[in-house]
Amino acid sequence: MDEEIFKKTPGKTPNLNEYTKNQYSAEKQIEMWNGKINAAHNAIDRHCTTWRKNKIALIWEGEKEERKYTFNDLREETNRFANLLVELGIKKGDRAFIFLPRVPELYIGFLGIVKTGAIAGTMFSAFGPDAIKDRLKDSGASILITNSELKKRVDAVRHELPELRHIILTDSEKATHDTIPFSEAKKMPDKFDVARMDPEENAFMLYTSGTTGKPKGVVHCHWAIMHQHMTAKWVLDLQDDDIYWCTADPGWVTGIAYEILGNWSNGATTLVHEGRFDPEKWYSLIQKHKVTIWYTAPTAIRMLMQSGESYKKYDMSSLRHMCSVGEPLNPEAIRWGIKAFGLAFHDTWWQTETGGMLICNYICLDMKIGSMGKPFPGITASIVDDAGKELPIGEEGNLAIKPGWPSMMKVIWNNPKKYEEYFKGGWYISGDRAKMDKDGYFWFIGRADDVIKTAGERVGPFEVESALIEHKAVAEAGVIGKPDPTRGEIIKAFLKLRPGFSPSPQLENEIKEFIKSRLAGHAYPREIAFVESLPKTRSGKIMRRVLKARELGLPVGDLSTLEEY
């Protein structure tokens, strides 16, 4: 293995051994009531009995305005909203979902739901009606918070969602036959009796994709905040004088764990940018708010690299620490960070299912550029074979974790069998392939399954294929992730057309638009190839592995089970 090492100078750096000590005295970090807990109380309310009460918790950069909320503001607003939910009949364990862009109501709504003891679910605002239907139907959500524009996509599938009782709209002032304005919360008391939960009780959920089947509802418990708190503290190094910016969307797990829970649990002033990615806007936000800690993703970093040297026009000197997550962080991106900002992006590895960072680079640790780093203290990671047996150092295999860390998913909603499938030979099997070197650093190799990572977002090929065959021209569809220098991977679809349809650029565009509007704006195939036939097993399963090998010009491997080729 080629090793390019980024040396750290010792100084004011977190000492990881402290974590192991502190881990066993959780009460010092997390506030509990005789063994009971609430994650939202820990994120917000408990700061309000300290000097942090009037500290800025949220700096919100909206499209048109900027707003600031102190911890006490958020305590009161989330209490009011929780009271509204109770008035609407919400009960412990109910599912309440949020389908919003990054507006303050998303954050207030999420914490308000968690305060009541219900389960808060999030959906990325690029989702279309099909994706929304799958999630709301499977979770049996009874309450949805959204806005008038996004509600149109819900209306298209509302008849299939009998359990959805209330829709709360952030941008309306008047109740209608099927909606309640979010602003009703203003009339509610600012005090709320926060639900005291068992640590293992459910707090939030979000849907994520696997190789086959519909997206899975990954559910996390209140105790997850313990791990989110500790990792935010030791990996992000959040301190009281920091201005922290996480560029993720709470439709994905990073935006929940480190833009709501772990960050605020540490009392960190957090910047949220409503708008989309834009290099100059991003630099100007860092300059304007004097951002010190920045948590972002490889695709964004690569896009910044490609946008030239515009960072030179802005004052980036406030930055003191940068981290990355979601997909492989290539060495060029790290080298560029060092050149542009004098700082290295610190890679972190984790998943929706793990609820928090597990393998990371740390301020105090020399960085092997290109490695994901080392397991967080208290976490045992290893490389195992398909039977769950540990493999020798340097060998490629399945990246596996010893179960039992505080933010490990508790349930796959409605699907205990899927949950069980993650565990083998006493290990949680991540679905990633990796190796570990002699110094204990982990190196990412790729996914062990067909899951696609496009611009850091996880997409299941089955979901895209199912949406594609809904189009009248498509008879069969096979979908793969094709390597892309900027986005990591792009979605490529191989389509066999129905009789009477023939390939054309118009048809290609029509199909792309169809997927964008039905499934999701980010999960459409950027490339389409029309084919005469698709490689299939005798039982009729499309062999994506063959499509991918052909696309990449690699050996296709054993084809003995192929029926069509």
By CB under 6 A, name the binding residues for ligand WT7. 208, 252-254, 325-329, 347-352, 372, 430-432, 444, 447, 453, 458
When the beta carbons of 202 and 209 are compared against ligand WT7, the nearer one is: 209
- Closest CB 329 distance from ligand WT7, rounded Å: 6
Map 238-262 to HEC letters: CCCCCEEEECCCCCCHHHHHHHHHH
- Closest CB 248 distance from ligand WT7, rounded Å: 7
- Closest CB 134 distance from ligand WT7, rounded Å: 16
- Closest CB 325 distance from ligand WT7, rounded Å: 5
Helix runs in 482-522, H state only: 505-518
When the beta carbons of 305 and 316 are compared against ligand WT7, the nearer one is: 305
Q: Are 284 and 245 in contact (CB under 8 A)?
A: no
When the beta carbons of 99 and 283 are compared against ligand WT7, the nearer one is: 99
CA distance 207 to 220: 11
Q: Are 161 and 151 in contact (CB under 8 A)?
A: no
DSSP 186-203: GGS-S------B-TTSEE
CA distance 482 to 467: 19
CA distance 320 to 315: 13
When the beta carbons of 182 and 444 are compared against ligand WT7, the nearer one is: 444
φ, ψ for residue 529 (rounded to 5)?
Answer: -120, 130
Show the tokens assigned to 417. 């069998």
When the beta carbons of 207 and 283 are compared against ligand WT7, the nearer one is: 207
When the beta carbons of 37 and 358 are compared against ligand WT7, the nearer one is: 358
When the beta carbons of 260 and 316 are compared against ligand WT7, the nearer one is: 260
Q: Are 317 and 267 in contact (CB under 8 A)?
A: no
- Closest CB 253 distance from ligand WT7, rounded Å: 5
When the beta carbons of 147 and 371 are compared against ligand WT7, the nearer one is: 371
Helix (H, G, I), strand (E, B) or coil at 15: coil
- Closest CB 347 distance from ligand WT7, rounded Å: 5
- Closest CB 243 distance from ligand WT7, rounded Å: 22
Q: Are 182 and 157 in contact (CB under 8 A)?
A: no
- Closest listed residue to residue 274, CA positions, set 170, 139, 197, 189: 170
When the beta carbons of 256 and 511 are compared against ligand WT7, the nearer one is: 256
- Closest CB 74 distance from ligand WT7, rounded Å: 24
- Closest CB 40 distance from ligand WT7, rounded Å: 21
When the beta carbons of 320 and 447 are compared against ligand WT7, the nearer one is: 447
- Closest CB 187 distance from ligand WT7, rounded Å: 38
Helix (H, G, I), strand (E, B) or coil at 537: strand
CA distance 364 to 8: 7
Burial-class residue 438 by CB neighbours within 10 Å (0-12, 13-18, 19+): exposed
When the beta carbons of 111 and 357 are compared against ligand WT7, the nearer one is: 357
When the beta carbons of 109 and 326 are compared against ligand WT7, the nearer one is: 326
- Closest CB 350 distance from ligand WT7, rounded Å: 4
- Closest CB 297 distance from ligand WT7, rounded Å: 8
Q: Sheet containing 243-246: which strands, arranged edge to edge? A: 66-70, 56-61, 269-273, 243-246, 293-296, 321-325, 345-349, 359-360, 374-375
CA angle in degrees (0–180, nearest 5) for 509-513-516: 140
- Closest listed residue to residue 519, CA positions, set 449, 460, 447, 476: 460
- The helix-helix angle for 461-468 and 505-518 (nearest 10°) equals 120
Helix (H, G, I), strand (E, B) or coil at 295: strand
